[in-house]
Chain A
Amino acid sequence: QLQVQESGPGLVPPSETLSLTCIVSGGSISSNDYYWGWIRQPPGKGLEWIGRIQYTGNTNCNPSLKSRVTISADRSKNQFSLKLSSVTAADTAVYYCARDTHLEYWGQGILVTVSS
Chain B
Amino acid sequence: QAVVTQEPSLTVSPGGTVTLTCGSSTGVVTSGHYPYWFQQKPGQAPRTLIYDTSNKHSWTPARFSGSLLGGKAALTLSGAQPEDEAEYYCLLYYSGARVFGGGTKLTVL
Which positions in A face B, CB cutoff 8 Å?
39, 46-49, 51-52, 60-64, 96, 102-104, 106-109
Please name the residue on chain A nearest to B57 by beta carbon.
Answer: A104
In the bound complex, do residue B51 and residue A103 qualify as a contact, i.e. CB atoms below 8 Å apart? yes
B72-99 interface (Cβ within 8 A of A): 89, 91, 96-99
Query: With a CB–CB cut-off of 8 A, which chain B residues contact A96?
Result: 45-46
Give B residues with C-beta under 8 Å from A: 1, 36, 38, 40, 45-48, 51-52, 57, 89, 91, 96-103
Contacts of B40 in A (CB 8 A): 47
- Of A48, A52, A106, chain B has the most CB atoms within 10 Å of the CB of A106
B16 to chain A, nearest CB (A): 25
Question: With contacts defined as CB atoms under 8 Å apart, how many contacts are there between chain A and chain B in the complex?
Answer: 54
Selected contact of A47 from candidates B38, B47, B51, CB within 8 Å: B38
In the assembled complex, the Cα of A64 lies from the Cα of B89 at a distance in Å of 20
Looking across the interface, which residue of chain B has its beta carbon closest to that of A47?
A: B100
A107 to B46, CA, bound (A): 10
Given contacts A49-B99, A63-B97, A106-B47, 6 further A-B contacts (CB under 8 A): A60-B97, A61-B97, A102-B52, A103-B51, A103-B91, A108-B45
Residues of B within 8 A of A39 (CB): 46, 100
The closest CB in chain B to the CB of A49 belongs to B98
Contact A107 B98 (CB under 8 A): no
**Interface contact B100-A46, CB-CB below 8 Å:** yes
Report yes or no: B51 in contact with A107, Cβ–Cβ below 8 A: no
Bound-state CA distance A39–B40 (Å) is 14
- Find B91's partner among A49, A51, A107, A109 (CB 8 Å cutoff): A49
> What separation, in Å, do the CA atoms of A104 and B55 have in the docked complex?
12
Asked if A63 contacts B1 (CB within 8 A), the reply is yes
Judge whether B51 and A102 touch: CB under 8 Å.
yes
Give the chain B neighbours of A48 by CB distance below 8 A.
100
Report the separation of the CA atoms of residues A69 and B51 in the bound assembly, to the nearest whole angstrom. 26
Offer 26 A-B interface pairs, CB within 8 angstroms, sorted by A: A39-B100, A46-B89, A46-B103, A47-B91, A47-B100, A47-B103, A48-B100, A49-B91, A49-B99, A49-B100, A60-B96, A60-B98, A61-B97, A62-B97, A62-B98, A64-B1, A96-B45, A96-B46, A102-B52, A102-B57, A103-B38, A104-B57, A106-B45, A106-B46, A106-B47, A109-B45
